[in-house]
């Protein structure tokens, strides 16, 4: 008789920021973890799992990963979207965790084995002004990073995306009663940021990958012009230059600039990026297991992307729990078209709740050799960090017009 799922539990905890985790347990006593964190809307996913998904999992064969994925996707009728796909993602990650533990091997071995020595990552150098950013870049290069993303405060503007109040951790979801409101000027941004790239290249040269996240804030024409303007600084990628609902808008950007484009952290199925990939409108796909249907669906997306020369660049911000980070690293280790992995440090409390086998060395993350994902969740400790509602900021233009955060 094959094994059966006998328990499906949703664990919400807030060790410095909110995380939602699904824990499955089989009759044979094997457990699996799945990240279900949707920053700013965590309880929507927790409820979707608790009310509609967990009851359906009890009694199912944990080995049937593909059938369970389709059962939850086609069976929902209301397909796609961040809440549904984060819920399916959590189940998928947990089932892969169980399968690899049952096989007695780290997940990447089941996904085709080691295809590289380690997973090259990028760190986040940010500061209120250019000198502060330069000091942060120096610190990352000192620590052996081969890739660094730079974000800077814009003169005349208050808080802007990517510049952390705390020098060590970046956590944008800070509004407990209501979202923090920020003000934005695209003109001020476009005028100032090329000076940041010039200063970075002047001081540190071109022997490391330089990245930047425009965070959905430009029009296609502004992005095309900006991409062309900064070609001399040879960015590894310019991220989210324009909102990605309109995939065909990226044709305008690609017609005018060779600055590589990375998009996808907000995507949740292959349908969100099918055109971007098949028309080679992007160079890196940024989907991540928790938001894009889990290990199974992210694997499908990156293998599709490989046909068109598009590489991976999985999202790895602090709102991806160590469970999602581990799943991403196992995929990074095994796929053919690996590009780069984002790596934002979690808080010490998070690392205590989610003990994990992956580790940083020589500018790379390494998965470790524990069976499965290599993550354990300390439920007792998790219970000491109760959920605390936290909104992502909203962003308005200087005249008050609602804009993109
Ligand atoms: C950002 C994220 O890491 C990134 O590239 O776009 O910090 C993003 O803002 C957060 O994940 C939103 O929760
Ligand atoms: Mg981003």
Res 219 pLDDT > 90: yes
Is residue 161 part of the annotated active site? The answer reads yes
Q: How many CA atoms lie within 13 A of 29 on its CB side?
A: 0
**Which structure tokens are listed for 197?**
């790239």
Res 165 pLDDT > 90: no
Q: How far is CA 334 from the centre of its chain?
A: 18
Mean pLDDT value of segment 201-223: 98
**Distances from the Cα of 341 to the Cα of 316, 358, 400, angstroms:** 7, 13, 36
CA 353 / ligand 1 centre spacing (Å): 22
For ligand 1, atom 3: residue with the closest CA: 317
Question: What domains appear along the chain, each with residue ranges and CATH number?
Answer: 5-106 (3.30.390.10), 110-369 (3.20.20.120)
pLDDT tens digits, residue range 48-87?
Answer: 999 999 999 999 999 999 999 999 999 999 999 999 999 9
Mean pLDDT value of segment 133-157: 97
213 CB near ligand 1 (under 6 Å): yes
pTM for this entry = 0.98
**Distances from the Cα of 330 to the Cα of 22, 184, 267, angstroms:** 19, 38, 20
Q: Give the separation between CA 197 and CA 195, rounded to whole angstroms.
A: 6
Structure confidence at residue 168 (pLDDT) = 72
**Which structure tokens are listed for 308?**
């068109």
Burial code (b: 16+ CB inside 10 Å, e: under 16) for 380-391 equals eebeebeeeebb
42 CB near ligand 1 (under 6 Å): no
Res 337 pLDDT > 70: yes
Residue 391 DSSP code: B
Q: Give the separation between CA 230 and CA 237, rounded to whole angstroms.
A: 11
Mean pLDDT value of segment 267-294: 98
What's the count of helices (H) and strands (E) in the chain, helices before strands? 14, 17
**Which structure tokens are listed for 100?**
């690899």
pLDDT tens digits, residue range 236-275?
Answer: 999 999 999 999 999 999 999 999 999 999 999 999 999 9
Q: Is beta strand 364-366 parallel, antiparallel or unpaired with respect to 119-127?
A: antiparallel
For ligand 1, atom 4: residue with the closest CA: 317
Is residue 387 part of the annotated active site? The answer reads no
For ligand 1, atom 8: residue with the closest CA: 317
**Distances from the Cα of 298 to the Cα of 186, 194, 294, 315, 397, angstroms:** 33, 33, 6, 12, 35
């Amino acid at each position: 008789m094959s094994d059966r799922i006998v328990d499906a539990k949703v664990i919400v905890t807030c060790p410095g920021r909110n995380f939602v985790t699904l824990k499955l347990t089989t009759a044979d006593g094997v457990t699996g973890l799945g990240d279900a964190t949707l920053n700013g809307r965590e309880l929507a996913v927790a409820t979707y799992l608790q009310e509609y998904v967990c009851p359906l999992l009890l009694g199912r064969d944990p080995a049937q990963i593909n059938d369970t994925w389709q059962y939850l996707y086609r069976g929902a009728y209301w397909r796609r979207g961040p809440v549904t796909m984060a819920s399916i993602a959590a189940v998928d990650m947990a089932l892969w965790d169980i399968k690899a533990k049952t096989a007695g091997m780290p997940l990447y071995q089941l996904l085709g084995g080691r295809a590289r020595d380690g997973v090259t990552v990028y760190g986040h150098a940010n500061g209120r002004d250019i000198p502060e950013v330069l000091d942060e870049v120096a610190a990352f290069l000192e620590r052996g990073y081969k890739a660094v993303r730079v974000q800077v405060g814009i003169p005349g503007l208050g808080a802007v995306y990517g510049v952390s109040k705390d020098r060590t951790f970046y956590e944008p979801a800070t509004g407990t009663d209501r979202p923090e409101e920020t003000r934005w000027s695209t003109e001020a941004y476009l005028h100032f940021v090329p000076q940041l790239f010039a200063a970075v290249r002047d001081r540190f040269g071109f022997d490391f990958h330089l990245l930047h996240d425009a965070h959905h804030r430009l029009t296609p024409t502004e992005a095309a012009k900006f991409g062309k303007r900064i070609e001399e600084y040879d960015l590894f990628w310019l991220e989210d230059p324009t909102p990605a609902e309109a995939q065909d808008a990226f044709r305008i950007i690609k017609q005018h600039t060779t600055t590589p484009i990375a998009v996808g952290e907000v995507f949740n199925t292959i349908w969100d990026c099918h055109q971007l990939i098949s028309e080679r409108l992007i160079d890196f796909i940024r989907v991540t297991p928790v938001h894009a249907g889990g290990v199974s669906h992210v694997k499908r997306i990156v293998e599709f992307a490989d046909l068109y020369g598009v590489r991976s660049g999985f999202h790895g911000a602090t709102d991806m729990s160590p469970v999602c980070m581990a799943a991403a690293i196992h995929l990074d280790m095994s796929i053919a078209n690996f590009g780069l992995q984002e790596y934002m440090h979690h808080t010490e409390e998070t690392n205590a709740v989610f003990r994990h086998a992956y580790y940083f060395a020589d500018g790379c993350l390494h998965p470790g050799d524990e069976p499965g994902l290599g993550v354990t969740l300390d439920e007792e400790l998790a219970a000491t960090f109760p959920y605390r509602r936290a909104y992502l900021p909203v962003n308005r233009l200087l005249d008050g017009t609602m804009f993109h955060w």
